[in-house]
Structure 1
Amino acid sequence: MITFAHATKRYGPTTALDDLTVTVRPGSVTGLLGPNGAGKSTALRLALGLDRATAGDVTVHGIPYRALRHPLRTVGAHVDARAFHPGRSARAHLTALARYNRIPARRVDDVLGLVGLSDVAGKRAGGFSLGMAQRLGLAGALLGDPEVVLLDEPVNGLDTDGVLWLRGLLRDLADQGRTVLLSSHLLSELEVTADHVVVLGRGRLLADLPIADLVGRDAPVVVRTPDAPAPLADALVEIGHHPQVDGHGLTVDGVDVTLVGDLAHALGLRVHHLAPAPVTLEARYLDLVADDVQYRARPEERIA
């Protein structure tokens, strides 16, 4: 479990993280989202003890990272795809990590096999593609069989097979009761990987809830009927709603789908389709951060 308790970080006059209070719980995959400059990297650095909070606390299982007796066995982190000596082989890199952290040498081959690098374990890591480097970083994160896994943009550089593999790996880790926190800009991937999202904007907490609640919240209800939808529309207006009629269908916001179905039944309306409209994580995310995007291109400016 990772706990941010009123965590604030200032760099001179700039507040990178502003009174963040959130708990990343075990047993689920939590996505950390936000536009550039939102404070995601700062939050990860505080969790890993790479920076000290200006105010508040960040702890792992109630203990600051710097005070952990066996850091790599408690927290497995992958925040830089090229965080290795380019002249070392993949096996040599992991072996050095294992020795420094008193992890059995046999674990090196275990994680090399887990991430699919066994066949290239003896090659210099400096020649690895971005996807292979990501796999090596993940191997390092998992080397100590940690209870907490913290990853920054782990999907970058992975091919389709690699993305599917990583998705399954993260799901397995969460199902084993581990705490999994990953930062990513690939919202379509997070939508099928994460259970929970924490959204930041300009250092502030914008949302902390299950993805299902965020995507399903206030979804408009869509009705399709071979009959004239006007009577149903009128009934909805009478109870304070504002449906939009389109041919043999209508769309209405802020109403429970069961209520709409009951009204249609009471009016004797034949219904061929009745369901909340599909809403993506990307759409909800863009709504949340609309006022917090710091770096926005001007559409009127074009490359000459």
Structure 2
Amino acid sequence: MICFDAVTKHYGATTALDAVTVQVRSGHVTGLLGPNGAGKSTAMRLLLGLDRPTRGRVTIDGIPYARLPRPLQTVGAHLDARSYHPRRSARAHLLALARYAGIPSRRVDEVIELVGLESVARRRAGSFSLGMGQRLGIAAALLGDPAVLVLDEPMNGLDTDGVRWIRLLLKEFASEGRTVLVSSHLMAEMHQTVDRVIVMGKGRLLADCSTDELVSSVSDVVVLRTPDVAAAPGLTRALDRAGMSVAETSPGELEITGGTPARIGDAAFDEGMRVHSLSVTPATLEEGYLRLVEDAFEFRRADAPSASGGPEGASR
């Protein structure tokens, strides 16, 4: 288990982390989410002993990273897809790490096979694509067969098969009772991969919950299509009185939040409106995340739509 206990980190006048207390639990794939400047990278650096907190404590199973007797066998980390000597082969890179950490050389061949780099293991790593570099970095993280895995943007540069592979790898790792912390901006992939989320904004903890809990914080969208365009204003008023939000995206098409297809269909019937279709677009992790961090973006266009809809926050 990873524990952040009232962790604050200042860089001069900038507060990168502000009294963050959170636990990353074993047996789960936990997503570390937040916009640029949220404090995610700082949190990972403090976790791995690359920097020290101004106040508070970060521990792995009760021990700071710097005091772990065998750190590579306890925590496997991958923060940079290019963290290798470009003139070394993939195998030589992993062998050097293994020798430094007292890991048997046979483990090098095991992780090379695990990440699918057998055919290029003796090629210079500097010739690798971004996706191949990601696989090499993940191989290095797995080298010590660690109980804790920490990955920053591991899906960048991977093709569809590679993304599916890393998703299954992380889930299998967690199913063995290990701890997985993964940071990414790819919300669709995070939705399919993580079962818990830690959301940060401007150095503060905004949420620590299951993925399902965050998704359920936003409503599904029901799309109604009708040929009776003239009846749309009357239905909009009726749905508004019932506590639903309506946006007319085109003539004869309404996007409705806060109601079920049955309630919306009944309201349309009461208004004498013909309904050609009612379809449901399920809520997503991205929508729950955007609503949560709406005020935490470091850079944002003045006319960018809010999480709740258009520039003025209208329903989508």
**Given the alignment, which residue of 285, 289, 297 partners 1:293?**
297
Cα distance between partner residues in 1 of 2:155 and 2:222: 35
Secondary structure of 1:50's counterpart equals: coil
Corresponding letter in the other structure for 1:127: S
Q: Structure 1 residues 249, 89: CA separation in 2 closer, same or farther (over 3 Å shift)?
A: closer
Q: Distance in 2 between matches of 1:132 and 1:249?
A: 45
Note if contact 2:218-2:287 (Cα within 8 Å) is conserved in structure 1: no
Where do 1:1-304 residues align within 5 Å?
1-219=1-219, 222=222, 241-242=243-244, 251=256, 253=258, 278-297=282-301
Q: What runs of 5+ residues in structure 2 fail to find an aligned partner? A: 271-275, 305-316
Identity percentage over the alignment? 57
Displacement after TM superposition at 1:87 (Å): 1.2
Residues 49 and 248 of structure 1, relative CA distance in 2, 3 Å threshold: closer
Secondary structure of the corresponding residue to residue 154 of structure 1: coil
> In 2, are the aligned partners of 1:222 and 1:273 still within 8 Å (CA)?
no
Q: CA deviation at 1:191?
A: 0.7
How far is 1:84 from its partner? Answer: 0.9
Q: CA contact under 8 A between 1:222 and 1:276: conserved in structure 2?
A: yes
Change (3 A) 1:125 1:234: closer
Q: Is the partner of 1:173 in helix, strand or coil?
A: helix
Q: Deviations over 1:48-70 (max 9, x none)?
A: 01000001111001110001001
Q: 1:63 to 1:273 in 2, by over 3 A?
A: farther
Relative distance call for 1:243 and 1:189 in structure 2 (3 A) is: closer
1:250 positional shift: 9.4
**Greater Cα shift, 177-186 or 289-298:** 289-298
**1:81 counterpart SS class:** coil
Quote how far apart the aligned CAs of 1:241 are. 3.8
AA at the equivalent of 1:25: R
Whole-Å separation in 2 of the counterparts to 1:137 and 1:235: 52
CA offset at residue 243 of structure 1? 6.7
| Residues 218 and 128 (structure 1), Cα distance of their counterparts in 2 relative to 1, 3 Å cut | closer
Cα distance, 1:298 vs structure 2: 5.0
Please say if residues 80 and 152 of structure 1, whose CA atoms lie closer than 8 Å, have aligned partners that are also in contact: yes
CA distance in structure 1 between the aligned counterparts of 2:247 and 2:12, rounded to whole angstroms: 54
Greater Cα offset, 291-300 or 43-52: 291-300
Report the AA paired with residue 119 of structure 2.
D
Amino acid at match of 1:281: L
Matched pairs, number: 292
Runs (4+) of structure 1 exceeding 6 A deviation are 233-236, 245-250, 272-276
Distance 1:4 1:260, change over 3 A: farther
Question: Structure 2 counterpart of 1:288, which letter?
Answer: L
Give the superposition deviation at 1:286. Answer: 1.4
SS in 2 for 1:44: helix
Amino acid in structure 2 at the alignment position of 1:108: V
Output the amino acid matched with 2:289.
Answer: Y
Q: Quick one: structure 1 residues 34 and 245, their matched pair in 2 at CA, closer, same or farther if it must change by over 3 Å?
A: closer
How far does residue 79 in structure 1 lie from its aligned partner after superposition? Answer: 0.3
> What CA RMSD, in Å, does the superposition of the two structures yield over aligned residues?
3.2
Shift of 1:236: 10
Residue type at the aligned position of 2:79: V
Give the secondary-structure state (helix, strand or coil) at the position aligned to 1:76: strand
1:219–1:277 CA contact under 8 A, matched in 2? no
Opposite residue 200 of structure 1, the aligned amino acid is M
Amino acid of the structure 2 residue aligned with 1:117:
L
SS of corresponding position for 2:208: strand
Note the C-alpha offset of 1:118: 1.1
Aligned CA distance change for structure 1 residues 235 and 194 (closer, same or farther; 3 Å) = closer
Q: 1:218 to 1:125 in 2, by over 3 A?
A: closer
TM-score normalized by the length of structure 1 = 0.84
Measure how far apart 1:176 and its partner are: 1.1
- Give how far 1:244 is off: 5.4
Give the conservation status (yes or no) of the 8 Å contact 1:241–1:252. no
Q: CA deviation at 1:221?
A: 7.7
